[in-house]
Structures are given as structure tokens and as C-alpha cells.
Structure 1
Amino acid sequence: MHVFERWLQEGSIPNKLQNELKLISHTREEIEDRFYQYLSFGTGGMRGLLGAGTNRMNLYTIRRVAEGLAQQIIASGEVAMHRGVVIAYDTRHYSYDFALETAKTVGKHGIRVFLFKESRPTPELSFAMRQLNAFAGVVITASHNPAQYNGFKVYGEDGGQLPPDAADGIVQHMAAIEDLFTIQTADEEELLQNGMLTYILEDIDETYQECLLTLREDAEAIEANGKDMSIVYTPLHGSGLVPVTEGLRNFGFPTVHVVPEQAVQDSRFPTVVYPNPEEREAFELAIKLGKENGADLLLATDPDADRLGVAVKNPDGEYELLTGNQLGALLLHYLLMQKKRRATLPENGVVMKTIVTSEFGRAVAAKFEIPAINTLTGFKFIAKKIEEFEKSGEYEFLFGYEESYGFLIGTFVRDKDAVQAALLTAEMAAYYKSIGKSLYDGLMDLYDELGHYREALESLTLSGKNGQEKIAGIMEELRNNPPISITCVAVSAIEDYQAGTRRFGDGTIEKLTLPKADVLKFLLEDDSWVCVRPSGTEPKCKFYFGVRKDTAEEAEMSLRALSLDFMNRF
């Protein structure tokens, strides 16, 4: 029987999903898109459109991935089952429903479950796991995607997102499920009564806030300027409201203006097109409120509060958004400068960034004689390195970040943490204010000292089965016919992370030390670079560009030429 027919005849399906199925019953293309595959589970977990079908986020695909996770935990033994799973969720459509369904599916197998009573950020899920010594974690979120999406992210026992090998184990267990309508779930009340389900919130919130206070580097600057600083914050209808506002007050910043329209936890995200702090459109209401209050700093977090966007005043008095690369370099410089001043900079300190993140951070780290290590894209790889270095003692983690607005300072969390980054950004702004400067001034000073770095990202959105095939074709074409020059600048080396090789222009080959991934990076003779990778969470092929020049004008011209020349291929 065709899978679509099986769904159409299943009596347990809720009316909303049944109506969807009836509406598409005569549309072959729509049926194929919804049923040609199960929603894929990758190293970032599972993310997709809400709706009926195997290739959609719904009650049944949630049960399937939760059952796969449960079987993985069972295979790990009784200790793992007793340590259990922590589950958190953001403010999206069905986030709480999916979280509870996950708890009921996992709990049915005698696995302990700790479920947040209210929506909380993804980084607080990671924190709670480490506090409770849980074996696994789940957060229901689609990060900064539009409102019609949701997702399921899985965390390992270190509190970081699952690495590829562990994710493969869950996929194998999911593949063994022949009929997702036969997956059994427990009753919530029964789980509560037998102690298999525990709701958590206040104790975790309180301990998390205590740990956040340990990140303060310059209490004097906060004491001198914190009370006079005006900060605007928007959670973009998401889960960051409580931890960010409490954290700022605890840190020493009492004047926090929350954008009222976006403080409401609304799964429609009605005031924005995308709840994405990378976009200026998401800052429009914050900018308006900032101008009304003469705010020194504007902060925004995405729905699950793992990404932070920041806007600062430029010399014209207008608010300018910082890129993730710019904010990362600023935070890194501030952190290393303060630790050097206080003589707390360790000799074996290390900074981590992803392969698509600007080389600006490496230049900042080199200024303090601190090595910067590259990882694959995805914060799980930074988390894995933190764990590795803790065990070996080779390095002491100082800071990790990625260009997509993800930052980590304190290792009590093992994922990007917008709450941590928001507090340190406020402190950094207070420091610059104490020396008569703004964050914008601080960024310009860094550019003048280390060179003008500029970066860009282009994406091709290619949805559905045909889209996947086109993305695979792009990667194949670039491997078979790689460019020998871009904008008339010779390609000096090609890094193929799938093959695990770095091939130089003279034909010599080096082995790469990072895990294998479907990524290509082209290094140019003028220190510019291009990186191409299919997204792990969206139907996109992503193209990253980076340059370094002596002036801002040269850098911007070079970046435009680089991206235009390369994208013309597609």
C-alpha cells in the first residue's frame, strides 16, 4: 500500500492533519513532496515544515525520532536509562506538544525524563543536562526559521549536540521502525506518579543565573557605567525573555527596555518576517524603541535564544547591526584583553571557530599569542573539542564562535549561548563607555590595527527532491571542475572535507585532520577564500566568502567582486 494511502486510512490522525491529506489527495507533486522520504535526521537533528506526511514535522514523525532515541539509550544500558533525558522547547507552534509527546514516547521504555515547565533557551537545556547528569537531551525548536517550521535537536551526555556517529545510531533505530502508527506512548499522569517524569524550572533557572555571574571580567566598569547604560532587548517572541532580562539585571544593568510587542511569546512571530537576529528587519521595533530611549545598545535573540544579534550607534547616531564575525572578534578581543590585564590568561589557552568563520578572530587571538583552531560548521564540533581538551589538558578553552551569530564563553553550557553573549556584550559596552568610546569605535580600532576583514554569505534555496539533486550536482561539478582562479586571483589550495584532503596548486596533497563532511573550501593567493556547503538543516546550498584588505573600501570592493564572480557560475 502506498504510504500516502496508509496515512489517509489511519483513523487516529487528528482532524487537522486528515483535512490536509484530503486537500492534497489529487495533487501528485504535493503528495510526492510530503511522502517521498522520512524527514531526514542529520547531525543537527531534524527540522522541517509542520504538516501531514513523513517529510513533515508532526505527532508521528516526532514519535519516530523519539523512539529512535529511546532505543539508542536502551542499547547504552540501565545506567543511561536511569540518568535519563532532559527536554526543553521554544515558543513555536506545537513545541510543547512535541516535547510532551517525546517525554511520553521515551518514558514508555522506563527511561527517566526531565521536562521544562515553561519554554527555555536551547543553551539552558545543555546547562540542565550537565547539572542533572542526564544521558541525553532534546530541544524542540527550529531556531530562526519562519513560523511554519519546527525541529527536534538531540544532545549527547556532554551537553553538546550529537556528533555524526551518535546521530547515525539513532537513524539506524529509526529505520528499523516499520510502522510509525504502532509506536507506543505512556500516559503523562502515570509517568508522573511512578517518578519517570519530573518537571523542572526554578532550580535550573537559579543555578544557571549563578553561573552566568562568573563570566564578569570587569566589575569596576559595570559599577561605574552599568546604571547609566540604556539597553534595548527583544526576544523576538521567543524563549530568551526571562533569562536575558534577569541576567542583565544581575550583572549590573538595571535599565533594560524590552520591546513590548515582541515580549509576547507568540508562535506566529507576528511582528517579523523571520525571527532572525541576523536581519535588520527583525530590529526595526528595537531601533524605534532605542531612539526613543537614547539606548547605548540593542540586543536581540532568536526564538530558542542560542543566537545573539547586536546593533550599536555609529558616528552618525544611527544604529548599525554588527555581523556575527564582527561581534565575535570584538568579544574575543575584549575577553583576552581583560584576562591579560587581570593576569588570568592561561598559557595553554585556545580559541575555536568554524571553517566558514572570518579569519579576523585568528588575527585577534594571534595578537595575544593564543592559537585559534578551526572546526567544521556546527557548534557540536566546538563542544566536542572542549570535551577533548578537558580530558587531555592540552588546551584551556577561552572562547568559541561561528559566523552565524553563535558564541560561547563559559563551558557550563556546551552549545552557543545568546544569554552569555548578551551579558558579556553589555559589559563590553560599559567598558568602552568608561574610556569614552562606543562598541563601533572599538571595532574600527581593531580594523585599523589588524586589517579590514569582510565576509558575505549567499544561499541558493532548492527545495524538495529535485532541489536535493541540484545541490548534489553543484558539489559534484565543483569537485570535477574546480576553478583555477576567481576574480583573476589564483586558487592556491582546495580543501575537500569529504575526501579529507588539501590540494595545492602544484599538485601536492596534505591530509585534513577534521572529520569528513560535504564541504569545499577554495583558498586564494591574496588570502581571500570561498567555502561551499549544503546546509544540514535547510534546503539550501550555502556559499561563504571572506577577504582581508588594508582599507574598508578595498575590502568591500574585493568582497563584491569575489562573490559576484563565483556566483555567476550558478
Structure 2
Amino acid sequence: MTWKTEWKKWSTHKELPSELKKQMTEMNEREREEAFYKQLEFGTGGIRGELGAGPNRMNIYSIRKVTAGLAAYIEENDTEAKKRGVVIAYDSRHGSAEFALEAAKTLGAHGIKSYVFQELRPTPELSFAVRYLRAYAGIVITASHNPSEYNGYKVYGEDGAQLPPIAAEVIVTHMSKIENELLLEVKEERELLSQNLVSYIGENLDQVYLDYVKGLQLNNNAAKTNLHIVYTPLHGTGQTLVPQALQNAGFQHITIVDEQKNPDPNFSTVSSPNPEEAQAFQLTIQYGKETGADLLLATDTDADRLGVAVRNNDGEYTLLKGNQTGALLLHYMLSQKKEKGILADNSVMLKTIVTSELGRAIAEDYGVKTVDTLTGFKYIAEKIDEYKKKGTKTFQFGYEESYGYLIGDFVRDKDAVQAAVMIAEAAAYYKQQEMTLYDGLIELYETYGYYKESLTSFTLKGKDGAAQISLIVNRFREHPPAEIAGATVERIEDYQSRKRINLLTAQLETMDLPPSNVLKFWLQDGSWFAIRSSGTEPKVKFYFGVKQGTESESEERLKELETNVINMIESIVY
């Protein structure tokens, strides 16, 4: 089926909403092809894309189609699965509330119960709610930290984690059998209510979740009352829970960035609601300077990612990288648990394959095993579930470099609410020692070595972009470099074939991980870089990691590695 056939099908559909009709009339030839040449792909746990008309865009019909696929997946199980139902949450983006209701209306047409949050709520609370309500699945309408023209749809299993690949494939198979998403049946909200196929949830569940978060505290020191925090939800869902969670933990001096506290689908004060980017912290830093704050916190739209800024030795604010925040959280928690005698002998820390090796060094120092997973928090959640069922290991902490952290396993996804409370507690602890979090970070580097990491992304949109991304990854896979930045390539890990080869000894190993389109190159000096094609965005990502004896040496080596690899990429693309 060509894009022109799809275009005609949509343009002749009598019930197409007027807004979508208008968008179609305003499209040029290229825009039409991009919007209609394929369906949105079910990537990392769901679909994500630009808002608009067409099967390759986010709209009520793409929502209905993926939900119909989920409904068929649920119907494959017994009647109990349908009764247990699906929890649905949403963020502050354009269309999020409408899409949440469309999902409930589609599920209702299949006789499947929905629990819909009355107002926007963070993704981690959705994960918690699925487990707490014993629902069979969960849906969250969000595009996380993407720009305002995007929205998305993530699916969660009964364990509260994003769906693993096998379950996702079943949903994709059911979706592929839907010939015309424009004709999918839905029930109206009043029908759902009269037939008890939808229930609205909210504040009661908030309180239960917040009680669990409070239970994570390791110290109730007096310094909490003197710690000054500035927090911004970046126009997203964090405002509903983060300030209350901090107050519950004993923090009294919390200033909210007023211009960014209310939901705003246009994210009018930032170019992107992404706490990984410095621009998102501009107002927060301004507030910090005005109030003399010790700690600055920012959450993304659905409050699963946390950004942190702290005062450095010059009195200015330094934005911590995700790897740095993760290392500080890990060290604080392990040191406190060991001191209190509550660190289990079979403890484990989970991180992704592109997350800093500093975490491994810290964990090893405390006798804690480190296990690597593929990129994506669902793989960390899978391991937590496995250890819980087998009773073989005690989960202590999970994190990824992209600002995602998990402390308490009552949630099975990254949780910025938990992380905000724990990093504030760590800051209070250091303040009691007359230190800042920045001092604590330098202490870690001096103890374990100066680990430095970076990330470079190439955004290549559309049909041509997808072909270029494939070309880049395949070129490195089929013609791997033997030397980079003056160092010999020692090992190559191909997560697609699940093979690790030592180029110096020709030793070949099979890696015990699911297949994924990722390549990782280890150099003889301990440096590494990885290539990963994003499952949710039109991007190919390059991760870099080094370790040297001093900060300047690490920064110099990191720059050298980045420059060499980027030159190779540009020679392929351009």
C-alpha cells in the first residue's frame, strides 16, 4: 500500500475531525508522504511521534489502533485479565487528556475496564498504580522530554514495567491485522461510566504512593530543615507530587519556579522540557541565585527523569550529568546502609550498558554486584522482577545515564519523585559535614578515578533519515575500526548478534542479553564508545566513556575520542 492510497483513504473518511482535515489541506507533497508512507512503529514500549494527521503521526486513530492491539493481547488471556483492567495516566502535552480517554473508549469497546487518572500524573505513579490496583496493564500518554510537537503512548505490563519485547511483538502482530484504523469501534464515556467500564482515580492513590516514597528515607537529620531547594516541573506533571514528597521528607525551604509550575503544552519558557539540557535550567538557576539555594531540581514532562544542579567551589551552579547524579545517589545509599548494618550480602546494582563504569567501581567497593542491562528501564525492571521471584539478590539501586534512577522497587520504572527526595537527603547529609554535593562528587573522583562520559546524537528525520541511520550503524558493524584516537580497539560487543569478540585474542563469547541494535567498542586504554539507534526518536546516539587520573586528562581524552568518532560518522553521512 502506497502513501497515496493511505492519503486517499483518510481524505475521504467522512468522520475525520475537522482539525485533522484542515491539517491535511495545508500539507505539501513531501509532508503528505512523510505523514502517510508508514504506520508509527511500536518502539521502546510503545509509539511516539509528531502530532498530526496520518498513520505516521500521533492522533486519535493511532491511539485507537495501538489500544486495539493491546486489547487483543489482553483478550488472549482469561476473563480475569479483562476485569483487572488497565490503568491510564497522561501528561501535560497537546492531546494527552483526549488520547487517554480515547484509549479508555477503545478498551471499553472490548469490555475491558479502565482506571483513568482524573488529572495529569507522573509516569512512575502509573507504574505504582498498576501494581497497587493489581491491574493487568497500564498506559501513559507522554512523549517524555521531547519538544512540544510530539506525543506518545507507552504500555506497561502487570508488573508495572514497560512491556518486554516478546509482549510488544504480540501487540504489533495484532495491530498489523487491523486493516483500517479509521473504522475501529469505540464506546462513549457515558456508556463506559454506566457499565462500570471506567473509574477515575487520583488523590487517594497519591497518598499511598507518597507514603511509600517517605519510607525510603535513610536519615532524618536536622540539616534537612536548613537545606534550600529550588524546583521546577518544567510545565509538566512533577508539580503534582514532587513538592509534597520533599515536604513529607522534612524539607521546609522549597521554592517552585513560578513561571514553570503550571501545565503548558507549548513549554513556553523552554525550547525543550528536557532536564538534560542547560537551557531548561536557566530560570531555575536565576531563582537559585536569588534565594541562595543549595540544590536545584528539575523534572521532565512526565516526571520520570530528574536533573540536578549544585553549587561548585566558585559559588556558581554546576549541572550534574546523569552519570554523576547516579554515582552520588549510589554512594550515599550504600554508605548509609553499610553504616546502619542494613546492606544485604546479596545486594545488586543495575545499570545499562551505556552508563558510566564509575557506578561499578563504587558498588564493588561496598561488596555489591553490578549487572548490566540493555538501554531502557524495562530491562532493569525485568531483572528486579527476576531477583524478587527467585530471592537470589537484593535490589539496591538502578540507573541509566539519561537521568533515570530507581530506589524503591514498588515502582518498576525510573522515578524522579523518589530520586528528588533521595538526592535532597544526600545534599542535606553533605551539608551537615560542611560539604556540598559538588564536594562529594570530587571526593568520588579522587577515590575511584576521573570517569567522564558524553553523548552525541544525530537527528535524521523521515524516510531518508532512517536509511542514513541504518547506513551508519551497518558501516561500523561491517567495517569496524581497528584503532581510534591513538588506541587499539580491544573488544567489540555486538548486541544484535549477542557476540563479544576480543580482537587481540580472537576469543568469542555469547552475551546473555536480548538482541538490540547496539555496538560497543572497548579500547586498550579503558576508553569506550557505543552506537545505538533510538527506538522512539529519529536519532542515532553515540556514547563515550573514559577514565584518567585527573579531571583535565579525562576531559582531554574524552574530547579526543569524540572528535575521532564524529569525523568517522560525518565521512559516512556527508
Could you say which TM-score interval applies, normalised by the shorter chain? over 0.9
The farther-off stretch of 181-190 and 121-130 is 181-190
Q: Give the match for residue 98 of structure 1.
A: 99
After superposition, residues 247-396 of structure 1 pair within 5 angstroms as 247-396=245-394
Distance across 2 between alignment mates of 1:165 and 1:242: 34
What residue number does 2:572 align with?
none
Matches within 5 A, 1:109-148: 109-148=110-149
Q: State the partner residue of 1:172.
A: 173
1:445 aligned partner: 443
Measure, in 2, the Cα distance between the counterparts of 1:440 and 1:44. Answer: 35
| 3-state SS of paired residue (1:568) | helix
Q: For 1:4, what is the secondary structure of its paired residue?
A: helix
Contact 1:42 1:164 in 2 (8 A): no
- Paired residue for 2:415? 417
Residues 101-140 of structure 1 deviation map (CA, whole Å, 9 limit, x = unaligned): 0000001111111000010000000000010001000000
Residue 143 of structure 1 and its aligned partner are, at CA, apart by 0.2
CA–CA distance in structure 2, aligned partners of residues 333 and 43 of structure 1? 30
> How many Å apart are 1:154 and its aligned residue?
0.2
Shifted more, 464-473 versus 403-412: the winner is: 464-473
How many Å apart are 1:394 and its aligned residue? Answer: 1.2
User: Hey, what does 1:528 align to over in structure 2?
Assistant: 527
Contact 1:457 1:545 in 2 (8 A): yes
| Partner deviation per Cα, 1:458-504 (whole Å, 9 max, x = no partner) | 11111111111111111111111001111110111000011110011
Q: Is the 8 A contact 1:237 1:265 kept in 2?
A: yes
Separation in 2 of the partners of 1:213 and 1:11?
A: 52
User: How far apart are residue 298 of structure 1 and its match?
Assistant: 0.3
User: Partner of 2:154 in structure 1?
Assistant: 153
Number of residues of Structure 1 aligned to a counterpart in Structure 2: 565
In structure 2, C-alpha distance between the alignment counterparts of 1:109 and 1:15, rounded to whole Å = 27
Counterpart in 2 of 1:553?
A: 552
Q: For 2:71 and 2:478, how far apart are their aligned partners in 1?
A: 42
When the two chains are superposed, the root-mean-square deviation of aligned CA atoms in Å is 0.8
CA distance in 2 between partners of 1:342 and 1:186 (Å): 55
Contact 2:51 2:59 (8 Å CA) reproduced? yes
CA distance in 1, matches of 2:203, 2:268: 29
Give the letter aligned to residue 518 of structure 1: N
Match of 2:511 in 1: 512
Counterparts of residues 77-88 of structure 1 (less than 5 Å): 77-88=78-89
DSSP 3-state at the match of 1:120: coil
The alignment partner of 2:568 has SS state of: coil
1:350-386 deviations in Å (ceiling 9; x for gaps): 0000000000100110110111110000000000000
SS for the counterpart of 2:525 is: coil
For residues 305 and 553 of structure 1, what CA distance do their matches in structure 2 show? 34
**Aligned-pair CA distance for 1:44:** 2.7
Q: Deviations over 1:498-556 (max 9, x none)?
A: 11100111322011111101110001111110100100110000000000000000000
- 1-structure distance, mates of 2:492, 2:428: 43
- Counterpart in the other structure of 1:212: 213
- 1:357 and 1:289 map into 2 onto residues whose CA distance is 31
Partner of 1:7: 10
Query: What displacement does 1:256 show?
Result: 0.5
C-alpha contact 1:107 1:113 (8 A) present in aligned 2: yes
C-alpha distance in 1, partners of 2:406/2:421? 12
Structure 2: tracts of 5 or more residues without a match: 570-574
Q: Secondary structure at the match of 2:146?
A: coil
- Of 347-356 and 74-83, deviating more is 74-83
Deviates more, 1:36-45 or 1:265-274: 36-45
SS in 2 for 1:433: helix
Match of 1:400 among 391, 398, 401: 398
- For residues 180-219 of structure 1, what are the structure 2 equivalents within 5 Å? 180-219=181-220
Q: Which letter maps to 1:235?
A: P
Cα deviation 1:261-308 (Å, max 9, x = unaligned): 000111110000000001111011111111111101000000000000
CA deviations on 1:54-105 (whole Å, 9 max, x unpaired) are 1000011111001111111011221111111000000000100000000000
In the alignment, the residues of structure 1 paired with residue 194 and residue 218 of structure 2 have an alpha-carbon distance, to the nearest angstrom, of 45
Q: Which amino acid aligns with 1:187?
A: E
* C-alpha contact (below 8 Å) 1:154/1:161 kept by paired residues: yes
* CA-to-aligned-CA distance 1:7-35 (integer Å, 9 cap, x gap): 111111111110111122xx322111111
How far off is 1:189 after superposition? Answer: 1.2
Instruction: Report percent identity of matched pairs.
Output: 53
CA distance in 1, matches of 2:143, 2:391: 35
Q: Which amino acid aligns with 1:10?
A: H
Distance 2:45 2:132 in 1: 23
- How far did residue 43 of structure 1 move? 2.9
> Quick check: 2:137–2:157 contact (8 Å CA) kept in 1?
yes
Q: Describe the SS at the equivalent of 2:138.
A: strand
The answer to whether the 8 Å contact 1:74/1:80 transfers is: yes
| Structure 1 residue ranges (4+ consecutive) displaced by more than 2 angstroms after TM superposition | none
Task: Select 2:25's aligned residue among 22, 47, 55.
Answer: 22
Indicate the residue corresponding to 1:502 in structure 2. Answer: 500
- Secondary structure at the aligned position of 1:240 is classed as helix
The aligned amino acid for 1:520 is: L
Q: Does 1:239 align with 2:237?
A: yes
For 2:24, give the aligned amino acid.
Answer: L
The answer to whether the 8 Å contact 1:161/1:380 transfers is: yes
Paired AA for residue 542 in structure 1: K
CA distance in structure 1 between the partners assigned to 2:31 and 2:123 by the alignment:
33
- 2:347/2:395 contact within 8 Å kept: yes
Displacement of 1:46 after TM fit? 0.4
Q: What residue number does 1:486 align with?
A: 484
Distance 2:240 2:88 in 1: 18
Normalising to structure 2: TM-score of the pair?
Answer: 0.98
- Cα pair 2:52 2:58 within 8 Å, conserved: yes
Structure 1 Cα separation of the partners of residues 45 and 458 of structure 2: 20
Q: Which runs of 5+ in 1 are unaligned?
A: none
Letter of the structure 2 residue corresponding to residue 2 of structure 1: T
The CA deviation at 1:330 is 0.4
Mapped to 1, the partners of 2:483 and 2:163 lie a distance apart of 37
Partners of 2:345 and 2:367 within 8 A in 1: no
User: Which residue is 2:49 aligned to?
Assistant: 48
Structure 1 residue 244 displacement after superposition: 0.2
Q: TM-score, normalised by structure 1?
A: 0.98
Distance 2:262 2:29 in 1: 39
Cα distance in 2 for residues equivalent to 1:21 and 1:45: 25
